[in-house]
Structure 1
Amino acid sequence: MNNTIQYKGYVGSVEFSEEDGIFFGKVMGIRSLISYEGESAKELLNDFHDAVDTYLEHCKEEGKKPELAFKGSFNIRLSPALHKKLFLYATAHQMSINQYIEDTLEASPASKLVI
């Protein structure tokens, strides 16, 4: 079973409450809380779609830009020693640390995922 669902560029979690007998989740990667639930996978998916559509409509009515989950930037924490090594390597190869990291991640198995 996949533990995420996607709709209109948003990714939602999929969880199950044995106690309540329902599937539930929330849109991930944004500050706004967008949650949904259903007693079946079909109900969960429909409620997810409705929740995203409602969020987008609400933003439109309020004249606000909807949050985007994947803007292309994120913070990463690493040791000062590794930070220095990345800087020295990138500089020696006439590239920025960002470019080095992007190139490295682009070559990783995660970049091969089909979305």
Structure 2
Amino acid sequence: MTHDGYVATVELDQDAGLFHGEVINTRDVLTFQGHTFIELQTAFADTIGDYIEWCRLRGKEPERPYSGNFTVRLSPELHRRIATAAARSGKSINGFVAETLEHVA
């Protein structure tokens, strides 16, 4: 499930009759729960709102979901091979890598 770009996994605790959710695209630990799916959705939204407010009160920037940028360290040889393959396909390195990763993710 998602809310404002935050993604959560959900598990059912049958013994307790509760759904438990955990936000998976931040380093901060954000969890929530509800007896019904509607309660779970509301708790998820409340958790995100509370997290953003908690950060604001402490002068901390809330961790935002993935920006779309990441750094990868490569050997010079692999970098050269990727640049060559990208040029052969008429793409930038970034475009080539993004397209390649799209096929395997």
Residue aligning to 1:59? 55
TM-score by length of 1: 0.69
Residue aligning to 2:3? 7
> For residues 87 and 105 of structure 1, do their structure 2 counterparts lie closer, same or farther at Cα, with a shift above 3 Å needed?
closer
Q: CA RMSD in A?
A: 3.1
Residue aligning to 1:113? none
Task: Find the aligned partners of 2:40 and 2:72 in 1 and give their Cα distance.
Answer: 33
Task: Find the aligned partners of 1:98 and 1:27 in 2 and give their Cα distance.
Answer: 28
Q: Deviations over 1:36-64 (max 9, x none)?
A: 01111111111111111100101111111
Give identity over the alignment, percent: 32
TM-score by length of 2: 0.75
2:11 partner letter: E
Structure 2: state its 5+ residue gaps. none
